[in-house]
Structure 1
Amino acid sequence: MSISELTLKSKDEPVRRFEVFIGNGRRREWSDDQKAQIIAESCEPGVTVCSVARRHGLTPQQLFTWRRLARKPLDVLSVPEEAPMFAPAVVVSPEKSEPKKARQASLQRRTSPEAAIELQIDGAMLRIASGTDAATIAAVIQALKAQS
Structure 2
Amino acid sequence: MFAKSSFLTALGVEVFASGQRRWPDHVKAQAVAETLEPGATVSGVAARYEIMPSQLTAWRRLAKEGKLVLPAVEVNEAVFAPLVVCDEITAASEAEPPSAGTPIRIVRGTVIIELAKDAPAARIAEIVHALEAHPC
TM range (shorter): 0.3 to 0.5
Q: State the structure with bigger RCO (CA 8 A, min sep 6), 1 or 2.
A: 2
Structure number with greater Rg is 1
Question: Structure 2-normalised TM-score?
Answer: 0.36
Question: Whose helix proportion is higher, 1 or 2?
Answer: 1
Question: Structure 1-normalised TM-score?
Answer: 0.33
